[in-house]
Amino acid sequence: MAASEKKRCEILKMAEEKKVTQQAGARQIEVSERHFRRLLRRYRLDEPAGIISGHSNKSSDNQIPLLRTIIP
C-alpha cells in the first residue's frame, strides 16, 4: 500500500467514526467531495482493500513490447 493510500485510509476511518466531516476529509486528501463519498462507500464495503488502486502492478496499454533477439 502506497503512502497516499495509507493517508486516505486514515482520513476515511476518521470520517467513518464522524471525527472529520466529508468536506474536510476531501480537502485533506485533495479530492472532490463527490469522489470522497465514492471512496467512503468503497471503504465501508471492503475496508482498506477497497482503497487500493486496481491499476497497480499492471503495464500500460501504450507500452512498447519487448523485442526478442534470436540467438543462432
Predicted pLDDT of residue 20: 94
Q: Stretch 17-21: mean pLDDT, rounded?
A: 93
Least confident among 13-17, 28-32, 61-65, 68-72: 68-72
pLDDT of residue 43: 87
In tens, the pLDDT along 52-71 reads 666 666 777 777 766 666 66
* Better-scored residue on pLDDT, 61 or 13: 13
Three cell numbers written together for 71: 540467438
What are the C-alpha distances in Å from 13 to residues 2, 28, 44, 52?
17, 13, 9, 15
Please answer whether residues 25 and 12 qualify as being in contact, where contact means their C-beta atoms are separated by less than 8 angstroms: yes
